[in-house]
Amino acid sequence: MVITTEGIVLRQRKIANNRRMIVVFTKRYGKLSAGTSINEKSRGKAALALRPFTYAEYDIFKGRDSYSINTASAIKSFYSIGEDIDRFEAASAFIEYMDKVLDEEAPMPGLFDLSLEFLQSVSVTKSASETLLLAFVVKTLRTLGVAPETDCCVNCGKSVSDFGEGYRKFSVSSGGIICPDCAEEEKREGNSLIYQPDFDIIDVFRYFTSKPLKTFEKVDLRPKVRREVREILADYTDHYLGSGVLRASGGMEV
């Protein structure tokens, strides 16, 4: 059976007989690993479709227990990502993140569309690559079933409006905002994954969740806020999705 689907390449490696194993995030079938003998170095739309940061259409032969890409054709290459180190860093973290959090053969069409929006936005932004990455990750959490609680204390249910300003702590292991009493309790139990940012973390999460990704092409967060949000998200995605990729290059800032 041959299936046709749009997709984004996440990863590839050489295998035997001049073939490559491609891991592609497809719109209709989710993440698939497929072999191919298309030569990546050749010219033309098929070779381009195997390169990173490219949106393409694939004809994939589904065998009994493996997939094989017969033909591929690039629809759009976001090549300008490679022209800027910040864009490249954010887009590479995005690719690694998606590779980690997606299950094989589990369709996620909403996440696929969001991924295309991300690649489009990051390919044109002047200075907001990292903010776009953070907004993207926050947006994925609900679809992946691990959205943090931001309306009330995740432990006792007290509404955040009853905490008073400045008492909004975020507990990674509990999965959201916690009230001062529950924070004391968690600390006594030795939980070290509690953050108390000096900005309103609830506002940041809501802002990222409610606005379209495109909004963040031009709206950058302050570097200090960005660093701390990234740190919280790195711990959070590590804890719930087993993906520590956001932490990898956090140390690049001067």
Point out which residues bind Zn ion (CB under 5 A): 153, 155-156, 179, 182
Other beta carbons less than 10 A from residue 252's beta carbon: 10
From the CB of 174, what's the least distance to Zn ion, in Å?
9
Decide whether 87 or 169 has the Cβ nearer to Zn ion: 169
Mode of pairing for the β-strands spanning 169-171 and 67-77 = unpaired
From the CB of 154, what's the least distance to Zn ion, in Å?
8
Decide whether 121 or 155 has the Cβ nearer to Zn ion: 155
Asked whether 10 and 25 are in contact (CB, 8 A), the reply is yes
Decide whether 190 or 251 has the Cβ nearer to Zn ion: 190
Decide whether 108 or 182 has the Cβ nearer to Zn ion: 182
d(CA 138, CA 149): 12
Q: With CA atoms as reference, report the closest residue to 98 among 110, 111, 87.
A: 111
Decide whether 104 or 162 has the Cβ nearer to Zn ion: 162
From the CB of 183, what's the least distance to Zn ion, in Å?
8
* Full strand arrangement of the beta sheet holding 194-195: 176-178, 169-171, 194-195
d(CA 174, CA 98): 24
From the CB of 179, what's the least distance to Zn ion, in Å?
3
From the CB of 152, what's the least distance to Zn ion, in Å?
8
From the CB of 207, what's the least distance to Zn ion, in Å?
24
Decide whether 50 or 201 has the Cβ nearer to Zn ion: 201
Strands (E), the chain: 2-14, 20-26, 30-36, 54-62, 67-77, 169-171, 176-178, 194-195
Task: Return the amino acid letter for 254.
Answer: V
- Long-range CB pairs of 13-16 (<8 Å, 24+ gap) are none
